[in-house]
Structure formats: structure tokens, C-alpha cells
A and B are shown apart, each in its own frame.
Chain A
Amino acid sequence: DAKTTQPPSMDCAEGRAANLPCNHSTISGNEYVYWYRQIHSQGPQYIIHGLKNNETNEMASLIITEDRKSSTLILPHATLRDTAVYYCIVRVLAGGNNYGQNFVFGPGTRLSVLP
């Protein structure tokens, strides 16, 4: 699986958009971009994923550049409860006989939402 690079930490004012970047310059054509977050010592929580098109759900938006070498997770109106470590992962989608893939979590970005 391709490696990702994220800034170690970021701050964001409450109510403002949080834009978390991720570099995955060695991503291959069949690898998806996944975002998870971990609040304090809770279990990581799935946020969103995408292949090449921008995606949006109730939690966030994912913007993937046209060359797919980087992406940005956007939390449109950050709240204090969004303070967490955010992980960007690239991974081949499991399917057929491809069950042996695992998610490799890097150090992530520690987002602090400030009042």
C-alpha cells in the first residue's frame, strides 16, 4: 500500500472549516483514499473514502486532486468534538480473492479545534 504524509498537527477555530491535507504521491490507480479519526483513546472512526471523484457525506467532504497525488479532508464547521487525530490511508479495495489487505495507520494529524 502507498504511504501517506500528513502534517503532525493543526489548529482550527470552532465554527470554521478544517482542511486537513494528505500527500500520497505514490498512489496507484486501484488504491482508494480513506480517512479515519480517533478521538482520545476511543476506537478509530471511519469518516469517508474515495477513488478519484470528490465525495461528501454527513461528516465531511473529500477533495482528491486530479492527479490523485494528494487529497484534503474538509470538516465544514468544526466543533470542539472534532478534536482528534485524523488518519489518511490509501488502500486497495478488497474484493474477489483480495481479502488480505490491511489498513496501515500512520501518525496522522492531531487536529485541535479551539473555542
Chain B
Amino acid sequence: DSGVTQTPKHLITATGQRVTLRCSPRSGDLSVYWYQQSLDQGLQFLIQYYNGEERAKGNILERFSAQQFPDLHSELNLSSLELGDSALYFCASSPRGGSGELFFGEGSRLTVL
């Protein structure tokens, strides 16, 4: 158990819909990262937040957005969903002053039908 909690674990929805994935980082961790893992692709970095502020952006689509709240939990919003958005979405956190390692949650599996 990494200490990072992601909900929901599984989500099935239809094209065109919008969903929100939630992540609670490890206690005390200020950084939250979001990654996408599709069936035929590796882990793709989406976005990073540090203490509520966006710090780095990867290959995140304009239809996707994220935020980190004052209590440090984060939400990833996916809108106008397409079939190709079906994937595992991982959240990870890292401690400030640590050695830089990431602690990943178990992921949210999104299926778009």
C-alpha cells in the first residue's frame, strides 16, 4: 500500500460524457502527478501540481484539466470523452525534500463505450 488513494477504481461511461477522477496523496506529500496508461502505450505524463499550483505539463489534452485543492487532494477532469480515452489513470505523490521517488496509487480504469 503506497498510501496514495484513487477513486473510483473502475468507471464505465459513454462517449461525449465527462468524468472526474480523484486522488488523495500520501499524508504530507505536496506534489501530485497524473499519468495515463493506454493499452498500447506506456505511461504518459499528464500534469503535476505542487501545493496547489501547476508545476509541469505533459501531453495533456485540452479536454482534460486538473487541479489540486487546499487539502492537497487532486482531481483530474476528463470531458467530451472519446473511445481513445479509455485507459488507466494513475496518480502519484512525492514528498518535499525526499529523494525524488514517486508513490503511485492503484489507478482508475476508465472505459469509454
Contact = CB atoms under 8 A, between A and B. Distances in A.
A24 interface: no
A48 B100 CA distance: 11
Where chain A touches its partner, the secondary structure class is loop
Interface of B: 2, 4, 31, 33, 35, 37, 42-43, 45, 48, 50, 55-56, 58, 88, 90, 92, 94, 99-107, 109
Interface of A: 32, 34, 36, 38, 41-46, 49, 87, 91, 93-94, 99-108
A94 B100 contact: yes
24 contacts: A36-B102, A38-B43, A42-B106, A43-B2, A43-B104, A43-B105, A43-B106, A43-B107, A44-B90, A44-B102, A45-B104, A46-B103, A49-B99, A91-B100, A94-B100, A99-B55, A99-B56, A100-B48, A100-B55, A102-B33, A102-B45, A102-B48, A103-B33, A105-B35
A102 B2 CA distance: 19
Nearest to B90: A43
Contacts of A42: 106-107
B101 A49 contact: yes
A104 B56 contact: no
Contacts of B58: 102
A104 B101 contact: no
B10 to A, nearest CB: 11
A34 B100 contact: yes
Contacts of A46: 101-103
Given A42-B106, A43-B2, A99 B42 contact: no
Nearest to A94: B100
